[in-house]
Amino acid sequence: MEDLVPVLITYGSWLVLGWVFLDLTMVPIPSEIVLLAAGSLAASGRIEFSFAILAGVVGALLADHVWFYVGRRRGQPALHLLCRLTSRSSQCHDKTLALFSRFGVLSLVVAKFFPGLRTVVPSMAGASGLPYPVFLGAGGMGTLIWVVAISSLGYVFAGQVREMVGTLRHLHAAALSVMLGLAVGLPLFAHMYARRPSGDGNPAQCDRPAL
C-alpha cells in the first residue's frame, strides 16, 4: 500500500471497521491510528464522520463479542490465555479480576482507553456470568465514548494527524497479507478454543461482580 490516505478515502468505514476489529482481537495495529485518521479526513469532508463512528463501534463490539463468548465458554483458562498473549505481567489475571470485582460493569465502560484491558475485560465479563444485556449496554456505552473521543481528536487536530498518517504510507503489502490471515485465523481459533471441553466438562466461572 503506497499511501494510506487514498485507501481510507476509498474504503472509509470498512477500513475503520476492519482495523478496529483486528486491533481488539490482538493484532498489533492500534485502533487510535485509524480513528484519528478518520476524524482528520472527516474534517476535510473526504469521508462521512458519522459512518466512521458507526464503523468503529461495530468493529469494537464484534471483537468484544468474540472474547465475551470465549470467556463464557471457557472461564478462567481463557483469561489466563489472554493475559499471556496481551501482557508480560504474571499478575495480569489477578489485577484484571480485582478491577472487575471492584468496579463491575464500570470497567467495561473505561476499558477501551487502556490497551492492556480492552481485550481481557470482555472475556472477564463472560467468565463472570454477567448478563448479556448488561454486557452489551455497558460495553456499547464505553465503546461509543472511546470511538467518539478519539475520532473527535482527529477532527479537531486534523492537520497534525495528516502528518502522522503520512508516515504510514509505505506499509508493505506483505504486512497486509499477514493482517488478512490473522483476521480469519484469530476468530476461528477463538471459536475452536471456546468449544473445547473444559477439564470438568463445565466452563470455569469467576465470581460475578455487583452490578
Note if the pTM is more than 0.95: no
Do the domain assignments include residue 110? yes
Do the domain assignments include residue 60? yes
Do the domain assignments include residue 203? no
* Count of CB atoms situated within 10 Å of the CB of 111: 28
As for how many domains the chain has, the answer is: 1
Do the domain assignments include residue 56? yes
| pLDDT tier at 70, thresholds 50, 70, 90 | confident
Q: Quote the pLDDT of residue 171.
A: 42
Do the domain assignments include residue 97? yes
Do the domain assignments include residue 206? no
Please identify which residue in the block is written with the cell numbers 460493569: 105
| pLDDT tier at 50, thresholds 50, 70, 90 | very high
The Cα 35–Cα 186 span in angstroms is 22
Nearest in space to 147 (alpha carbons), one of 46, 64, 68, 70: 64
Structural domain for 90, as ranges: 4-195
Do the domain assignments include residue 209? no
